[in-house]
Amino acid sequence: MGTPTTTDSDASAQREDGRALKGKTGLRRLINATRYSRDGLREAWRHENAFRQEVVLGAVLVPLALWLPVPLVEKLLLVGVLVMLLIVELVNSAIEAAVDRDSLEINPLGKRAKDLGSAAVMLALLMAGGTWIAVLWTNFGPGAVH
């Protein structure tokens, strides 16, 4: 068989590291999960233009939603669809990263995965826009009771 190559050794070390992360419970698990989530948000901000644009949009629209004189449930809807949009964008970015990790060549299954993720983001954008339009129209459009 011969001596393991550096690549074999590195792969073995990565598998061991991955196993070391599994099975944590209690407070240690919560701390690790929080750190991984923070790292994910940091990576999304650093590498994903769409995520940055949506965060900036949220930074403007969330205070507006909280300021608007609408019922609490509608405020929650306005903020909730923006949070949903960020969640879908993060999942789409994860799909893209996983597909690109395997290969940068255009593979039909990889393309399908990326297209499906993109479609999910588009639907989330339409849902967010539609919700904002509906709430604003209902409360401030023609015929709204003031």
pLDDT single digits (tens) 51-77 = 999 999 999 999 999 999 999 999 999
pLDDT band of residue 3 (cuts 50, 70, 90) is very low
Same domain? 37 vs 57? no
Range of the domain at 33: 14-47
HEC string for 80-129 = HHHHHHHHHHHHHHHHHHHHHHHCCCCCHHHHHHHHHHHHHHHHHHHHHH
Phi, psi at 124, each rounded to 5°: -65, -40
In a domain, 68, yes or no: yes
Same domain? 76 vs 126? yes
Same domain? 20 vs 71? no
Same domain? 28 vs 97? no
Give me the pLDDT at residue 4, please.
47
3-state secondary structure of 35: helix
Give me the pLDDT at residue 101, please.
87
In a domain, 61, yes or no: yes
Same domain? 63 vs 30? no
Catalytic choice (43, 48, 89, 96):
89
pLDDT single digits (tens) 92-144 = 999 999 999 877 788 899 999 999 999 999 999 999 999 999 999 999 999 88
Show the tokens assigned to 11.
Answer: 């792969």
Same domain? 37 vs 55? no
Same domain? 34 vs 54? no
- For residues 10-20, give the mean pLDDT: 57
In a domain, 32, yes or no: yes
Give me the pLDDT at residue 131, please.
98
Please confirm, yes or no, whether 89 is among the known catalytic residues.
yes
pTM: 0.81
Same domain? 21 vs 57? no
Same domain? 41 vs 57? no
Same domain? 103 vs 62? yes
Same domain? 54 vs 112? yes
Same domain? 105 vs 86? yes
Looking at per-residue pLDDT, the higher value among 23 and 132 belongs to: 132
Give how many domains the chain has, as a whole number.
2
Looking at per-residue pLDDT, the higher value among 64 and 14 belongs to: 64
